[in-house]
Amino acid sequence: MKKEYEKFAPSNLFEGMTSISALLAAREAGVNSRPIYEVYFDQNKRKSKMREYRFLQRKAEEVGFALTLCDSETIAEEAIGNTHGGIIARCGDRIFPALTAPEQLRSDGFYVMLEGIEDPYNFGYALRSLYAAGIDGVILPPRNWMSAAGVVARASAGASERLPMLVADSSDAAALAQEAGLKLICADKGNSVSMYDADLRRPLLLVIGGEKRGISRVLLSAADEIVEIAYARPFKAALSAASAATILGYEVMRQNRT
């Protein structure tokens, strides 16, 4: 097992079938261009996981990566976590297109921008919930935790690889989203209304900030509305970004039920 600080280092090592199959599905759907160089499979698990092995054999021929049988010690030495199930993949960088025109956003879309999240696990957990809640894509600030892509993929159960992602700074994201007809909704406490009283129907760009730095003033000043998550008792602490993303994402989903 690697030390804690190594979990935050840039890494494109994907661990486990959930992450790897999500990447393969996203590549096939044209959502993700991340290259896969080699998949390592624990030879001691080949018999018990023959279905997975045969699936990867087919994909290796289709996609063009190497499928290598190796011992469990080799995989354990490379892996960051211990939930890989004897399967890891060495991948390359994913190219994130820049958001430069309103036409890149769906006119009926639900997009999310996560600002100031400093932990790749928290980032991944947030993406997992938001993907399940039906978002159409993520807008990333120029600095983001997708450099630790393997960690984010594992924490998000592969959702990070399945989601379309665009890169833009705060001011450009706000301006282009509003030009595309999306409401800009920021989650914060100041000058806010309860999320239950806010109009969270599509199309919208929801901005959620990290616990420490929160949302930038640029986005707050440009917001069409600022919403807050109501607490059932007095409590000064902020929720984690992942928890806030889950609650807000599902409130958006609820308000958009057909």
Q: What is the pLDDT of residues 12-62, one digit of tens each?
A: 999 999 999 999 999 999 999 999 999 999 999 999 999 999 999 999 999
Q: Can you give the pLDDT at residue 10? A: 57
Q: What share of the chain is helix, strand, coil (3-state, %, to 5)?
A: 40, 20, 40
Q: Tell me what the mean pLDDT of segment 183-196 comes to.
A: 94
Residue 75 has pLDDT above 90, yes or no: yes
Q: How many CB atoms lie within 10 A of CB 193?
A: 13
Per residue in 191-214, pLDDT tens? Answer: 899 999 999 999 999 999 987 678
- Residues 6+ positions from 62 with CB-CB distance below 8 Å: none
Per residue in 142-160, pLDDT tens? Answer: 876 667 899 999 999 999 9
Per residue in 159-173, pLDDT tens? Answer: 999 999 999 999 999
Which run of H or of E encompasses 220?
helix 217-222
Residue 178 has pLDDT above 80, yes or no: yes
pLDDT band at 8, cuts 50/70/90? low
The token pair that represents 4 in the structure block:
């804690």
Q: What is the mean pLDDT of the chain?
A: 92
Residue 9 has pLDDT above 80, yes or no: no
- Please say whether the beta carbons of 137 and 164 come within 8 A: yes
| C-alpha separations of 209 from 188, 193, 196, 202, 238 in Å | 8, 17, 19, 20, 10
- Please say whether the beta carbons of 256 and 214 come within 8 A: no
pLDDT band at 69, cuts 50/70/90? very high
Q: Where are the domain boundaries for CATH 3.30.1330.30 in the chain?
A: 4-91
Residue 179 has pLDDT above 60, yes or no: yes
DSSP state of 153: H
Does the predicted model carry a pTM greater than 0.75? yes
Q: Where are the domain boundaries for CATH 3.40.1280.10 in the chain?
A: 102-255
The CATH-assigned architecture of domain 4-91 is 2-Layer Sandwich (3.30)
What sections of 87-132 are H helices per DSSP? 120-132
Q: Can you give the pLDDT at residue 3? A: 47
Q: Tell me what the mean pLDDT of segment 226-237 comes to.
A: 93
Higher pLDDT, 82 or 63: 63
Spatial CA neighbour of 155 closest among 127, 135, 117, 185: 127
Q: What is the C-alpha separation between 183 and 107, in angstroms, rounded? A: 11
Fold for 102-255, please state it.
Alpha/beta knot (3.40.1280)
Name the one residue in this structure whose structure tokens are 């807000």: 248
pLDDT band at 1, cuts 50/70/90? very low
Q: What is the C-alpha separation between 51 and 20, in angstroms, rounded? A: 14
Per residue in 93-121, pLDDT tens? Answer: 999 999 999 999 999 999 999 988 888 89
